[in-house]
């Protein structure tokens, strides 16, 4: 019998570790993608995913079933990633580091041409030049497909502030990426 | 028509614009279409921001790394309470469970009787203004502490109910115990003149009755309605009332 996620969450809330394991298996990939996009750092993203799941386990009793579990996990992931960025001043390091795709063969898109590498490099640079709030809001909208209301809840800001973060992020991204459109 | 800004086009792109006419307006204007197409092309480039892929076993890898650390978790009050409730259903502790119920009955009886006397004289206080005591015990405090314990258990049972898809035998058993205790505390509170508390416990009763006797035979829709009722208000009220009875004084 396939258990619904709600049922599994209910079991995890009551302390069932095997139910929580199911949730970890289900959400790890998505949380890694989000953590990586927030930090642009593979090792940090793995640490954030683990830390976020441990926080989720410790606080799962506070999860309210009427809200989305995915959103709740995203909120923990975002907060954990922000803590990480604050601690490690990631953005400063980013400016001096080689982009990760140049050393990794496990990319989603094959970086086989100079143009593709340029686009990816520019996109990554543009993303990391956004403020944390702008980047978070844009990522949750563009890649995760959350509604603005959900993003506001995840980031614990008003919907108006959320929209403004998205608008600013889009403007900055367009300025950074528009020269690439013609290429 | 108001000027259409890039922010409007951004909202349109992400399907968040409130105006359903906007898409048609943009499509009908060459200039707006060009602006919108430029926005789309630029934002689509952001799709190149692709994370490194993890293999299919990544979830297992994460679990193996975190599972030794999950043991550090200290079970919260709710988990301990739940364990205690579960233990009551096991045969070896059934006697303890029955004893707890007898204690509840005895306590409620004592408080009720004592409260009845107070109402005739001076509700809540002796003529000299001090708290009424019963064999050296502050009966009001005792009632509040007992009700607080009861509300914690109600909170636990309701939380579990709100989060589960099916009725379990345990849920029904807990609900019956809660119902019996709830009636006794309501009577004790009423006899003591604790009108607010008594009214709250009376409000709680119909749901406990449904949980105890109706949930198993009810339809999924009924269960969903009850769960919604619990989630959307009752749990909150239980927690608020529990806070109130934990205060040094509770107004009737």
pLDDT at B118 over 90: no
**Stretch(es) of chain A classified as CATH 1.10.1740.10:** 1-97
**Which residues 19-58 of A have a C-beta within 8 angstroms of B?**
20-21, 24-29, 32-33, 36-37, 42, 45, 49-50, 53-54, 57-58
What is the model's pTM? 0.54
My answer on whether B145 and B207 are in the same domain is yes
Q: Which of A52-61, A107-116, B20-29, B127-136 has the highest mean pLDDT?
A: A52-61
The DSSP letter of residue B147 is H
Query: Over chain A, what HEC string results?
Result: CCCCHHHHHHHHHCCCHHHHHHHHHHHHHHHHHHHHHHHCCHHHHHHHHHHHHHHHHHHHHHCCCCCCHHHHHHHHHHHHHHHHHHHHCHHHHHHHCCCHHHCCCCCCCCCCCHHHHHHHHHHHHHHHHCCHHHHHHHHHHHCCCCCHHHHHHHHCCCHHHHHHHHHHHHHHHHHHHHHHHCC
What is the predicted ipTM? 0.82
Whether B43 and A173 lie within 8 Å, measured CB to CB? yes
Whether A106 and B52 lie within 8 Å, measured CB to CB? yes
**Roughly what angle, to the nearest 10 degrees, separates helices A17-39 and A132-142?**
120
Q: Please give the share of chain A, as a percent, with pLDDT higher than 70.
A: 81
Between residues B30 and A102, which one has the greater pLDDT? B30
My answer on whether B11 and B114 are in the same domain is no
Q: Please give the share of chain B, as a percent, with pLDDT higher than 90.
A: 12
Given this model, what pLDDT does residue A92 score?
52
pLDDT at A2 over 60: no
Distance CA A121, CA A168 (A): 20
Given this model, what pLDDT does residue A57 score?
94
Whether A28 and B58 lie within 8 Å, measured CB to CB? yes
Given this model, what pLDDT does residue B244 score?
86
Query: Touching check for B16 and chain A: CB below 8 Å?
Result: yes
Given this model, what pLDDT does residue A108 score?
39
What's the pLDDT band for B61 if we cut at 50, 70, 90?
very high
What stretch of H or E contains B90? none
> Is A13 within 8 Å of B43 (Cβ atoms)?
no
Phi then psi for B57, rounded to 5 degrees? -90, 10
Mean pLDDT of chain A: 83
For the segment B92-104, what is each residue's pLDDT rounded down to a tens digit?
A: 334 445 545 555 6
Q: Which chain B residues are closer than 8 Å to A32 by Cβ?
A: 51, 54, 58
My answer on whether B29 and B153 are in the same domain is no
Average pLDDT over residues B109-128: 46
**Neighbouring C-beta atoms of residue A86, cutoff 10 Å:** 10
Whether B10 and A181 lie within 8 Å, measured CB to CB? no
Distance CA B51, CA A107 (A): 7
> Is B186 within 8 Å of B201 (Cβ atoms)?
yes
Q: Which chain B residues are closer than 8 Å to A9 by Cβ?
A: 163
Distance CA A181, CA A117 (A): 14
What length does chain B have? 252
Angstrom CA distances, B183 to A13, B89, B96, B186, stand at: 29, 21, 21, 5
Number of folded domains in chain B? 2
Q: What is the CATH T-level fold of the domain A1-97, as seen in this structure? A: Rna Polymerase Sigma Factor; Chain: A (1.10.1740)
pLDDT at A170 over 90: yes
The DSSP letter of residue B176 is H
Whether A53 and B49 lie within 8 Å, measured CB to CB? no
- Please count the CA atoms within 13 angstroms of the CA of A123 that sit on its side-chain side: 24
Among B45, B79, B163, the residue with its CB nearest the CB of A180 is B45
My answer on whether B42 and B82 are in the same domain is no
Q: Which chain B residues are closer than 8 Å to A64 by Cβ?
A: 231
Q: Which chain B residues are closer than 8 Å to A109 by Cβ?
A: 48, 50
**Stretch(es) of chain A classified as CATH 1.10.10.10:** 100-183
Whether B73 and A163 lie within 8 Å, measured CB to CB? no
Between residues B49 and A104, which one has the greater pLDDT? B49
**Neighbouring C-beta atoms of residue B63, cutoff 10 Å:** 21
Q: For residue B56, is it within any domain?
A: no
My answer on whether B145 and B232 are in the same domain is yes
Q: For residue B189, is it within any domain?
A: yes
Among B10, B52, B79, the residue with its CB nearest the CB of A36 is B52
Average pLDDT over residues A156-177: 94
Q: For residue B191, is it within any domain?
A: yes
For the segment B213-248, what is each residue's pLDDT rounded down to a tens digit?
A: 665 555 667 777 788 888 888 888 888 888 888 876
Distance CA A122, CA A128 (A): 10
Q: For residue B251, is it within any domain?
A: no
Angstrom CA distances, B47 to A95, A144, B165, stand at: 21, 12, 39
pLDDT at A161 over 90: yes
Interface test with A, best of B41, B53, B66 (most A CBs within 10 A): B66
Given this model, what pLDDT does residue A33 score?
93
Own/partner long-range contacts of B19-25 (Cβ < 8 Å, ≥24 apart): B25/B1
My answer on whether B93 and B175 are in the same domain is yes
Smallest CA–CA distance, residue B180 to chain A, in Å, is: 25
pLDDT at B201 over 50: yes
Interface test with B, best of A5, A6, A29, A145 (most B CBs within 10 A): A29
A34, A35, A41, A45: CA torsion to nearest 10: -130
Phi then psi for B128, rounded to 5 degrees? -85, 5
pLDDT at A144 over 80: yes
Structural domain containing residue B32: 6-48
What's the pLDDT band for B206 if we cut at 50, 70, 90?
confident
Among B46, B60, B232, the residue with its CB nearest the CB of A123 is B46
Q: For residue B170, is it within any domain?
A: yes
CB within 8 A of B65, min separation 6: which ones? Answer: A50
My answer on whether B144 and B195 are in the same domain is yes
CATH architecture of A100-183: Orthogonal Bundle (1.10)
Between residues B170 and A180, which one has the greater pLDDT? A180
Q: For residue B61, is it within any domain?
A: no
Interface test with B, best of A1, A8, A14 (most B CBs within 10 A): A14
Beta-carbon pairs below 8 A across chains A and B: 137
What stretch of H or E contains B194? none
Smallest CA–CA distance, residue A38 to chain B, in Å, is: 10
My answer on whether B26 and B131 are in the same domain is no
My answer on whether B167 and B91 are in the same domain is yes
């Amino acid at each position: 019998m396939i258990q619904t996620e709600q049922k599994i969450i209910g079991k995890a809330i009551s302390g069932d570790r095997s139910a929580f394991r199911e949730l970890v298996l289900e959400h790890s990939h998505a949380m890694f993608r989000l953590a990586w996009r927030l930090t642009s750092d593979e090792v940090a993203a793995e640490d954030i995913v683990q830390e976020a799941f441990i926080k989720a386990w410790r606080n799962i009793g506070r999860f309210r079933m009427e809200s989305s579990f995915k959103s709740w996990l995203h909120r923990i992931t975002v907060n954990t990633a922000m803590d990480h960025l604050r601690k490690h001043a990631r953005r400063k390091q980013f400016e001096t580091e080689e982009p990760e795709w140049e050393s990794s063969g496990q990319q989603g898109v094959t970086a086989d041409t100079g143009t593709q590498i340029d686009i990816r490099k520019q996109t990554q640079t543009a993303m990391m030049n956004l403020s944390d709030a702008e980047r978070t809001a844009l990522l949750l909208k563009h890649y995760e497909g959350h509604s603005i209301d959900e993003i506001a809840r995840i980031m614990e800001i008003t919907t108006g502030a959320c929209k403004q973060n998205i608008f600013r992020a889009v403007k900055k991204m367009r300025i950074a990426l528009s020269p690439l459109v013609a290429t | 028509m108001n000027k259409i800004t890039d922010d409007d086009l951004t909202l349109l792109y992400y399907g968040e614009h409130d105006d359903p006419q906007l898409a048609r307006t943009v499509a009908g204007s060459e200039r707006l279409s060009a602006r919108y197409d430029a926005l789309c092309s630029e934002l689509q480039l952001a799709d190149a921001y692709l994370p490194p892929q993890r293999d299919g076993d990544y979830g297992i890898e994460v679990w193996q790394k975190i599972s030794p650390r999950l043991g550090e978790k200290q079970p919260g009050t709710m988990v301990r309470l739940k364990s205690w409730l579960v233990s009551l259903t096991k045969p070896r502790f059934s006697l303890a469970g029955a004893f707890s119920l007898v204690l509840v009955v005895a306590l409620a009886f004592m408080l009720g009787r004592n409260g009845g006397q107070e109402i005739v004289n001076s509700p809540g206080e002796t003529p000299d203004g001090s708290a009424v005591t019963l064999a050296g015990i502050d009966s009001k405090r005792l009632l509040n502490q007992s009700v607080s314990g009861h509300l914690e258990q109600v909170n636990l049972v309701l939380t579990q109910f709100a989060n589960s898809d099916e009725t379990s035998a345990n849920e029904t058993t807990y609900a019956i115990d809660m119902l019996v205790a709830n009636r006794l505390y309501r009577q004790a509170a009423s006899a003591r003149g604790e009108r607010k508390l008594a009214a709250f416990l009376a409000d709680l009763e119909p749901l406990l009755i449904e949980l105890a006797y109706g949930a198993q035979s009810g339809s999924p829709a009924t269960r969903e309605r009850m769960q919604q009722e619990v989630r959307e208000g009752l749990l909150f009220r239980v927690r608020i009332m529990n806070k109130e009875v934990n205060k040094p004084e509770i107004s009737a």
